[in-house]
Amino acid sequence: ASTNPLIPIVILEVKENPLIDGIDLHIHALELEEIGNSLKMLREEFDMKKKIIVTEFSMVWLYNQHVNDNLGQWGTNNGYASGMKVYEWLNNAIDKAKAGTPIRQEEFASFFERTKWYPKNWFKTFYDEFVKYEVYCATGRFSCVLKEGGNNEKYTSSSTMWDLSAIYSSKLLGVNPSTRLMNPSPLAYPDYKEIVDKKYENIN
């Protein structure tokens, strides 16, 4: 809003037009602080009383900055070349998932957790800010599906890494062999499960 003169005009139109019920804000953040700052701007600076929905949210702009990072010592410790790029490692995960031998969730999570840049509990941070600023409804990337045959959607050095925001991912983490359901992603699922369990803990 501080750099694009069109955004305040749109927000003011939403506020003042009786035919508009609210606004859809897509929060794709580079830093966790952007989540609350965006919602605070609408609620406080623009005094937006109408409904806010968020039909997309992610940390995709942060992920995009690191697709060409080397795996480094973590790669060596886990059987990969230290010079392998992140996007190449993710392609390797896709190949393993397709072959029915997906990488372990612990391994997948450990790469991100050992970095200095990965925002732990990013999903829960989004949720908490949505509650704080009374977001009416929020939807994210629930699943990322491995396509059987055809285009396997491999990543490149310039890919936009939407898939890392998925709660469930057969594309990167395969399926459960007994249920044939997608395996959850350790980057989002633990926070998602905690939120859902808490919300329904008193329902019999």
Burial (Cβ within 10 Å: 0-12, 13-18, ≥19) of residue 139: exposed
Tokens describing residue 27: 């929060």
Tabulate helix, strand, coil % of the chain (nearest 5).
Answer: 45, 10, 45
The model's pLDDT over 81-139, given as tens digits with 9 standing for 90+, comes to 999 999 999 999 999 999 999 999 999 999 999 999 999 999 999 999 999 999 999 99
Range list of β-strands (E), the chain: 22-24, 27-28, 51-54, 57-58, 137-138, 143-144, 168-169
pLDDT tier, 157 (very low <50, low <70, confident <90, very high otherwise): very high
151, pLDDT greater than 70: no
- The CA–CA distances, whole Å, from 149 to 55, 95, 102, 109, 156 equal 30, 12, 17, 27, 19
The model's pLDDT over 33-58, given as tens digits with 9 standing for 90+, comes to 999 999 999 999 999 999 999 999 99
**Euclidean distance between CA atoms 115 and 63, whole angstroms:** 12
- Tell me the pTM: 0.90
193, pLDDT greater than 60: yes
Closest CA to 58 of 38, 28, 88: 28
Strand partners of residue 137: 53
Alpha-helix runs per DSSP H in 78-188: 86-98, 105-113, 122-132, 170-173
Average pLDDT over residues 141-163: 83
* pLDDT for the residue numbered 3: 78
Which are the contacts of 156, defined by CB distance < 8 A and separation ≥ 6? 87
